[in-house]
Structure 1
Amino acid sequence: MSSLIRFLPGSAPLVLDSPHSGVAYPADFGHDCELAVLRQAEDTHVEKLYDFAPALGVAWIEALFPRSYIDVNRNTTEIDVTLMEDDWSDAVETDPAALAKVRLGKGLIWRMTDEGTPIYRRKLTAAEVRSRIDQCWRPYHQAVQQAIADAHARHGYSIHLNCHSMPAIASAYSTDFPGLAHADFVIGDRDGTTAHPALSQALCDLLRGFGYDVAYNHPYKGVELVRRYGEPAQQRHSIQVEVNRKLYMDETTLEPNAHFATLRGHLRQMVDQLLAIDPRSYR
């Protein structure tokens, strides 16, 4: 396992992963963007919000590297060829819908930040992109796939939560809805294709019961990590969970706010209740 990934296997049917909370910036990044600007891209403190999970037997996978270095929530085909110094001979995505993030500068390797600040003044070589894939993307996906397979083998089903955070207001280049005031939570299952809709709705209802405003599949439906591993017909359910950063932190200083412990407590209750759900009962 790569030293840039934290993987704690579990015994429960539930698997959690945090692909975007990493703060270990590799020496070979070679960016020309101020670190304080890059840090705005992090899903700051998500790993702390869910730090109770391993003690409950829940498998935990965490990227220690930043998403701006390589985004493991993209397919390896989502390459922005305008960033490349030399020819990229591997497959490149051609589906217009799948290329949405690339157009925003947020492909596998980010070209710019959410606010449009260029990350590089140089071109990247194919060799360094492949190195990032081999050192970060592949081991991360192997860990998620293994954790889900193990949970499914033990219990006959698995529930995978892909854990993220989002700014209070959508940035200019973060989604197709710049300036949108986000709900407290956005639950995404790619329109019911990566998890049973009844399970997703149960999660929405649970969070609403805590008093939160919850959106479903808008503006975030879920991307590669739920698309790749969600197979509800096979009782492998993958759901993306986006939590609004205003609920637990100061978005400027990145410091936790007075409500951090309350939110963490609600997430603990959410996990406890998910551990009691058997999605095989949904028809």
Structure 2
Amino acid sequence: MSIVEVKQGSLPIILGFPHTGTDVPAEIWSRLNENGQRLADTDWHVDQLYDGLLPGVSTVRATFHRYVIDANRDPAGGSLYPGQNTTALIPETDFDGKAIWRDGEMPTSADTKLRLERFHRPYHEALFDEIQRVRKTHGLAILYDCHSIRSHIPFLFAGKLPDFNIGTNEGTSCSPEIASAVGRIAFAARGYDAVINGRFKGGWTTRHYGKPSSNIHAIQMELTQSSHLATEAPPFDYDEGKAEKLRRHLKDILEIIAQTAIKLGSK
């Protein structure tokens, strides 16, 4: 099993896909309970959603599932949202707070150490290398971290989540120009709603790599799955009609990021 898939592009933009993978090694799969084996918390079809929208972007995609270990969590185990419900480096529950492991099969500290080395570290080594390559080539790199989640999850948030959830770690992970440009497209998209630094402010990836002073910008986009799936329940099928409508706006977002990159690079 390939741990990470990398496609190098010619633009200063990298798309990260830490949660689209569904590969689970047999020895880990057997420890998941029936609920866990549904893999419900996958970012279903998000790599397909962005495919071909902006020729020349680089992509870095984890092939392993987040229940193996979450590539968008702090390897030291720190919480992204202290005081709020969230899932851990190796999740103990799904997004509804329900157990995903068989009785007596909860991952141990030894499991965490092994999976950090086998899965988490290779993904971030590949992502780091691509960021450095792109920055060396263009003078800057922009990481756009691609995510999706169900629109209603009472365990994590009240009510319905906006369709476009833009995260910049409260404005620290990317330049104001990038955040503003993305926000203009998202807030103007008819039939959708949007928020910047709402419930999701950017995961560990965004917070760790986003260093505008070093010409590395990171922004997270968390989409509601209702915006591009036929249903937010199994079998989580891709809805071509919904997706094509959404893809027009995502294309505009990536194109305006590319235009902003040129402006930032000329400063």
| Structure 1 length-normalised TM | 0.84
* 2:237 alignment partner, one of 246, 255, 258: 255
Q: Tell me by how many angstroms 1:170 deviates.
A: 2.8
CA distance in 1, matches of 2:63, 2:35: 16
- Which residue in the other structure is 2:197 paired with? 217
In the alignment, structure 1 residue 169 sits paired with structure 2 residue 152: yes
- Which residue in the other structure is 1:227 paired with? 207
CA distance in 2, matches of 1:126, 1:168: 32
Which letter does structure 2 place at the counterpart of 1:182?
L
Alpha-carbon contact 1:235-1:280 (below 8 Å) kept: no
1:179-221: CA deviation from partner (whole Å, max 9, x where unpaired): 3311110101000110112311210101223323110000100
In the alignment, structure 1 residue 100 sits paired with structure 2 residue 82: yes
CA distance in 2, matches of 1:244, 1:193: 24
After superposition, where does 1:13-32 map in structure 2 within 5 Å? 13-29=12-28, 30-32=30-32
Higher mean C-alpha displacement, 155-164 vs 254-263: 254-263
- Which residue in the other structure is 1:206 paired with? 185
Tell me the SS of whatever aligns to 1:218: coil
In the alignment, structure 1 residue 136 sits paired with structure 2 residue 136: no
CA distance in 1, matches of 2:111, 2:193: 42
In the alignment, structure 1 residue 159 sits paired with structure 2 residue 142: yes
Which letter does structure 1 place at the counterpart of 2:73?
R
Which letter does structure 2 place at the counterpart of 1:64?
T
Q: Tell me by how many angstroms 1:51 deviates.
A: 1.6
Which letter does structure 2 place at the counterpart of 1:74?
R
Q: Tell me by how many angstroms 1:239 deviates.
A: 0.3
Q: Tell me by how many angstroms 1:106 deviates.
A: 1.3
1:25-54: CA deviation from partner (whole Å, max 9, x where unpaired): 22121433225764221111111111215x
Number of equivalent positions: 259
* 1:183 alignment partner, one of 152, 158, 162: 162
Alpha-carbon contact 1:207-1:214 (below 8 Å) kept: yes
Which letter does structure 2 place at the counterpart of 1:224?
W
Alpha-carbon contact 1:158-1:235 (below 8 Å) kept: yes
Q: Tell me by how many angstroms 1:126 deviates.
A: 3.4
Identity %: 27
- Which residue in the other structure is 1:77 paired with? 76
CA distance in 2, matches of 1:232, 1:115: 35
Alpha-carbon contact 1:187-1:239 (below 8 Å) kept: yes
Q: Tell me by how many angstroms 1:261 deviates.
A: 1.8
Q: Tell me by how many angstroms 1:264 deviates.
A: 2.2
* 1:270 alignment partner, one of 253, 264, 267: 253
- Which residue in the other structure is 2:264 paired with? 280
- Which residue in the other structure is 1:112 paired with? 93
Unaligned runs of 5+ in 1: 79-92
Which letter does structure 2 place at the counterpart of 1:126?
S
Q: 1:105 to 1:161 in 2, by over 3 A?
A: closer
CA distance in 2, matches of 1:32, 1:223: 25
Alpha-carbon contact 1:10-1:147 (below 8 Å) kept: no
Alpha-carbon contact 1:186-1:218 (below 8 Å) kept: yes
Q: 1:3 to 1:50 in 2, by over 3 A?
A: same
Unaligned runs of 5+ in 2: none
CA distance in 1, matches of 2:215, 2:51: 26
| Structure 2 length-normalised TM | 0.89
Tell me the SS of whatever aligns to 2:179: helix
- Which residue in the other structure is 1:89 paired with? none
Q: Tell me by how many angstroms 1:64 deviates.
A: 1.0
1:227-282: CA deviation from partner (whole Å, max 9, x where unpaired): 11000112211001011111110112301223112212332232222212235279
Alpha-carbon contact 2:69-2:90 (below 8 Å) kept: yes
Q: 1:98 to 1:277 in 2, by over 3 A?
A: closer
- Which residue in the other structure is 1:44 paired with? 44
Q: 1:105 to 1:33 in 2, by over 3 A?
A: farther
Tell me the SS of whatever aligns to 2:260: coil
CA distance in 1, matches of 2:32, 2:224: 28
CA distance in 2, matches of 1:217, 1:99: 12
Higher mean C-alpha displacement, 2-11 vs 189-198: 2-11
